[in-house]
């Protein structure tokens, strides 16, 4: 079907990969603690959109170009590392009077947009995500099939959909558990700084990423 083999094995493996805690989960949970379930959902949607960029790239062969071209790889790596570190430093430098919204206040629309685009750009500018899709998806695509791009799209969209649904669940669960945490602005500031440290760490990892 669509040039895909071992579909159910892919579905099971993708689900296990999605529910494994990682930077995306930490970002969604952190934003849920700060901004409630809306912030977590915005983060999850941004992460999903960022993954769509890599899925489309894998389908049309751009990920293969990225893997083969050292110059393209280095450029994307540099842009991604600088962006991640920039966002991380801004979050680490958060002050006590600007670290979180009031406890009972709904997050502003512009704040949610910022969370969304941070999640999207974090994934879209991370060459490691591109290489992951390039390494993982072909294992389940029949290379003799004339519909390889469609197979990449179907598998990538399924992987992204299950991951987004999982992140939605994490956003809601974290928001429900955040009541007491939100009572302390100081705690919220440190959550913001922890997220900033995560971004800086990811930026450093991207900067040191070697082309294989």
**pLDDT tens, residue by residue, 185-204:** 666 677 777 777 877 887 78
Q: What is the pLDDT of residue 36?
A: 86
- Can you tell me the mean pLDDT for 66-71? 67
- Can you tell me the mean pLDDT for 54-74? 73
Q: What is the pLDDT of residue 132?
A: 78
- Can you tell me the mean pLDDT for 104-126? 78
Q: For the chain, give the percent of residues with pLDDT over 90.
A: 17
**pLDDT tens, residue by residue, 28-54:** 988 888 888 899 999 999 999 999 988
Q: What are residue 141's DSSP bridge partners?
A: 4
Cα angle, residue 168 at apex, residues 6 and 177 outer, rounded to 5°: 130
Would you place residue 167 in the very low, low, confident or very high pLDDT band (cuts 50, 70, 90)? very high
DSSP string over 56-68 = HHHHHTHHHHHHH
- Can you tell me the mean pLDDT for 52-77? 74
φ/ψ (deg, to 5) at 93: -85, 10
Alpha-carbon distance of 79 to 4, in angstroms, equals 34
- Out of 94-108, 140-154, 174-188, least confident range: 94-108
- Out of 56-60, 62-66, 75-79, 206-210, least confident range: 62-66
- Can you tell me the mean pLDDT for 97-104? 45
- Can you tell me the mean pLDDT for 76-101? 70
Cα angle, residue 19 at apex, residues 111 and 194 outer, rounded to 5°: 45
Q: What is the pLDDT of residue 105?
A: 46
Domain chopping of the chain, boundaries? 23-208
Has residue 101 got a pLDDT over 60?
Answer: no
Has residue 166 got a pLDDT over 50?
Answer: yes
Contacts of 207 (CB under 8 A, 6+ apart): 77, 78, 81
Would you place residue 97 in the very low, low, confident or very high pLDDT band (cuts 50, 70, 90)? very low
Has residue 98 got a pLDDT over 50?
Answer: no
């Amino acid at each position: 079907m669509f040039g895909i083999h071992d579909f159910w094995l892919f579905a099971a493996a993708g689900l296990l990969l999605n529910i494994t805690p990682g930077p995306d989960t930490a970002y969604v949970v952190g934003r849920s603690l700060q901004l409630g379930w809306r912030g977590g959902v915005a983060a999850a949607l941004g992460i999903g959109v960022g993954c769509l960029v890599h899925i489309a790239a894998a389908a049309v062969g751009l990920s293969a170009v990225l893997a083969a071209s050292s110059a393209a790889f280095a450029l994307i790596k540099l842009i991604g590392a600088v962006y991640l570190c920039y966002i991380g430093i801004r979050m680490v430098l958060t002050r006590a009077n600007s670290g979180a919204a009031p406890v009972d206040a709904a997050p502003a629309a512009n704040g949610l947009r910022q969370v969304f685009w941070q999640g999207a750009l974090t994934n879209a500018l991370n060459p490691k995500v591109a290489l992951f899709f390039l390494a993982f998806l072909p294992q389940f695509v029949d290379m003799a099939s004339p519909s390889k791009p469609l197979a990449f799209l179907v598998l990538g969209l399924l992987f992204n959909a299950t991951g987004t649904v999982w992140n939605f669940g994490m956003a809601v669960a974290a928001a429900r558990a955040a009541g007491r945490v939100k009572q302390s602005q100081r705690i919220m500031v440190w959550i913001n700084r922890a997220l900033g440290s995560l971004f800086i760490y990811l930026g450093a990892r991207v900067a040191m990423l070697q082309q294989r």
